[in-house]
């Protein structure tokens, strides 16, 4: 069977950082939202609900460190129900560029004071 109809892993699953970028949130802010949605426990690990209902999947790192990827579509549906809107791809790129420019200015300001 050909590759038609198959989605790439990265199109379905996202780490917390990339998941947050879809909504204009930092990784930390996205983690807090996942806790509010009862998908992450206070210990930072996914809840049984998140694992059983397919909101996330374990993808341990090579050294065995636990790591989880989040289902973009399922989390997006919950976020929308809470009033959050996904940024369009152009909006994500614009925010990234703005952060990079801001970081560059901070670096040059610091160098000027030396």
- What is the pLDDT tens value at each position of the chain, 114 positions in all? 445 668 898 899 999 999 999 889 999 999 999 999 999 999 999 999 999 999 999 999 999 999 999 999 999 999 999 888 877 655 555 555 665 666 666 554 444 434
The pLDDT, as a whole number, for residue 104 is: 66
The pLDDT, as a whole number, for residue 109 is: 46
The pLDDT, as a whole number, for residue 86 is: 78
Helix (H) or strand (E) holding 13, with range, is strand 13-14
Please name which of 5, 2, 40, 3 lies closest in space to residue 20, comparing C-alpha atoms: 40
What are the structural domain ranges in the chain? 11-107
pTM over 0.75? The answer is no
């Amino acid at each position: 069977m050909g590759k038609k109809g198959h989605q790439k892993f990265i199109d379905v699953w996202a780490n917390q950082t990339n998941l947050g970028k879809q909504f204009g949130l930092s990784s930390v802010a996205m983690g807090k939202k996942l806790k509010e949605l009862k998908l992450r426990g206070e210990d930072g690990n996914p809840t049984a609900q998140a694992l059983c209902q397919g909101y996330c999947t374990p993808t341990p790192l090579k050294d065995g460190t636990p790591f989880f990827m989040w289902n973009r579509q399922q989390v997006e549906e919950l976020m929308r129900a809470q009033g959050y809107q996904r940024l369009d791809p152009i909006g994500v790129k614009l925010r990234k560029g703005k952060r990079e420019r801001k970081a560059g200015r901070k670096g040059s300001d610091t160098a000027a004071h030396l």
